[in-house]
Amino acid sequence: MSKQIFVNLPVKDLNQSVEFFTKLGFSFNSQFTDETATCMIVSDNIFVMLLTHDKFKSFTPNAICDATKSTEVLVSLSSESRTAVDEMVSNAIAAGGNTYNEPQDHGFMYAHGFQDLDGHIWEIVYMEPSAIQSGEPSTEQYANASR
């Protein structure tokens, strides 16, 4: 059975968030969209539920952290090339997001990221196909590259 993943993120302004992610090339499933939530399609099996704070609070007894001051999650997405990584980050900045670090080039892996309008961190990563096919990098190499 194929699994799906739904990442739930609280957003301050749902319409602004939809506009932001639309500028990055994402689309949305209207079946799971109303004035309190929308379902952003990342791939066939990966979705991000953008939820207003009130809606998000209905799913958790915990307070919503301010992602501009604390990190509650790192969302990492694979990309098809180094150029595509840079384009996604550039598009995010042009749409009102922020970058929080310099690109990371580890030879077999290239990463850069941005913070969306609510401060959530999105890592965009390209891994050389030859590294994947050869079994490289090892778990240790990946962990060291992620630091």
Cis? peptide before 10, omega within 30° of 0: no
What is the model's pLDDT at position 2?
Answer: 77
| CATH fold label, 68-147 | 2,3-Dihydroxybiphenyl 1,2-Dioxygenase; domain 1 (3.10.180)
- Class level of CATH domain 1-59: alpha beta
What is the value of pTM for the model shown?
A: 0.83
What is the model's pLDDT at position 135?
Answer: 56
What is the model's pLDDT at position 100?
Answer: 86
Q: Profile the chain (147 residues) by mean pLDDT over runs of 10 residues.
A: 89 98 97 96 96 96 92 91 97 96 93 96 92 57 49
In angstroms, rounded to a whole number, what is the distance separating the alpha carbons of residues 84 and 131?
Answer: 18
Q: Where are the domains of the chain?
A: 1-59, 68-147
In angstroms, rounded to a whole number, what is the distance separating the alpha carbons of residues 72 and 46?
Answer: 19
Cis? peptide before 137, omega within 30° of 0: yes
Secondary structure of residue 7 in the 3-state scheme: strand
Domains 1-59 and 68-147 equal at CATH topology level:
yes
What is the model's pLDDT at position 1?
Answer: 65
